[in-house]
Amino acid sequence: MLPIVKGLIEGDRRSLARAISIVDNQEPESRQIIREIFGRTGKARTVGFTGPGGAGKSSLVGRLIPECQALGHRVAVLAVDPTSPITGGAILGDRVRMLANLEDERVFMRSMASRGAVGGVSKSLRNAIRVLDAAGYDLILVESVGAGQLEIEITKVVDLTVVLFTPNTGDNVQAVKAGLTEVGDVYVVNKADIDGAGPLYNIIKEMIGETERKPAVLKVSAKTGRGVRELAHSIEKLLKERSINYKEREKRMLEDELKDMVTDIVEQKVASMLATDKRYAAIIEKLARKETDPYVAAEEVAAGLFR
């Protein structure tokens, strides 16, 4: 067993932090770490927090930590910021905001830099979750920073998604457009302490809460703490309900992952084959001279590759 794996299993926080960096950066050692811990994973449950910038995701996660600990969980937090090169300012800000919790030995926090394509982020995240799972953290809260396609991607990797809205940003419409109204298991109107939270809550309740999925819609204030305990209990309840079919869902998630990974491998193979294929170069020339068309050319190249 790798010393780092032994360390993280035995509760050494430095080994844990190092292992997460390795899988996040997809360093070569990452393969062996995952191979060694894979059999120990499957116990942790994961909750994603998504929503427009400044909605209060970090603040709310900070508030939820003690509530979830009170329910008996060993909590870890991952903040995913794909836009940030290694340690961006946004994450640092979050770190400061969560400083109170950082001093608490029972919680483990980490921001992930996962650069690169959408697939890279989910791969890093899946593996970071595995590392935390093997280290004995049974509840992992994942904050995703930034909006759009990536956030939707992240929701596929977690067991449960909490979508935050807040009255004082113009980003709500953006969030609706980005498809966040379809991915939530729980919808939260944060900043209940300020004007506009009530009307926004009513709108969301009507727009999303009444759909067939009937997701929970809650009003909270991460500032005053109002509603946070209720949210922790809702999350707990939903996770319990889902645990009944957990094996089945895990299998589906693994299938998604495998498909991503096979696609990656094939893509790389194809790229390297094309780079050295003389016929490919010739077909490009033919295309440029308009002696063939893109459909025929593509079929011809693909047929050559898979022969």
**Rounded Cα–Cα distance for residues 287 and 210 (Å):** 53
CB nearer to ligand GTP: pick between 59 and 155: 59
59 contacts which partner out of Mg ion, ligand GTP, none, CB within 5 to 8 A by kind?
ligand GTP
Q: Does 101 help bind Mg ion (rule: CB under 5 A)?
A: no
Residue facing ligand GTP at closest CB distance:
56
Under the binding rule (CB under 5 A), the answer on residue 159 touching Mg ion is no
The least distance separating Mg ion from the CB of residue 80, rounded to whole angstroms, comes to 10
| 235, 266, 270, 278, 296 from 305: Cα distances, Å | 49, 11, 8, 12, 14
Nearest residue to Mg ion by CB is 58
117 binds, among ligand GTP, Mg ion, none (CB under 5 to 8 A by kind): none
Contact letters (x/-) for Mg ion, 37-56, by CB under 5 A? --------------------
Q: Pick one of ligand GTP, Mg ion, none as the site partner of residue 63 (Cβ within 5 to 8 A by kind).
A: none
AA letter at 288: A
Taking the least distance from each CB to ligand GTP, the nearer of 7 and 227 is 227
End-to-end CA distance of the chain: 42
Find tokens 């910021």 and name the residue: 81
Interface residue with Mg ion among 81, 94, 171, 185 (CB under 5 A) is 94
The amino acid at 176: V
Q: Which does 190 bind (CB under 5 to 8 A by kind): ligand GTP, Mg ion, none?
A: ligand GTP
- Helical spans, DSSP H, in 178-227: 180-183, 197-204
Residue (53 or 199) nearer to ligand GTP, CB:
53
Strand, helix or coil for residue 188 = strand
Between 113 and 134, name the residue whose CB sits nearer to Mg ion: 113
Looking at beta carbons only, is 160 or 197 nearer to ligand GTP? 197
Q: Which residues bind ligand GTP (CB under 6 A)?
A: 53-59, 90, 94, 97, 145, 190-191, 193-194, 221-223
The interface partner of residue 193, options being ligand GTP, Mg ion, none and the CB cut-off 5 to 8 Å by kind, is ligand GTP
Cα–Cα–Cα angle for 28, 139, 52, rounded to 5 degrees: 85
How far, in Å, CA of 239 to CA of 72, rounded? 14
Measured from the CB atom, is 193 or 255 closer to ligand GTP? 193
Nearer Cβ to ligand GTP (15/221): 221
CA nearest neighbour of 55 among 175, 149, 155: 175
Listing from the earlier edge strand, what are the strands of the sheet with 45-50? 108-112, 75-80, 139-144, 45-50, 160-165, 186-189, 216-219
Residue ranges of E strands in the chain: 45-50, 75-80, 108-112, 139-144, 160-165, 186-189, 216-219
Q: How far is the CB of 161 from ligand GTP (least distance, A)?
A: 15
Does position 58 interact with Mg ion (CB under 5 A)? The reply is yes
Chain positions contacting Mg ion, by CB under 5 A: 57-58, 94
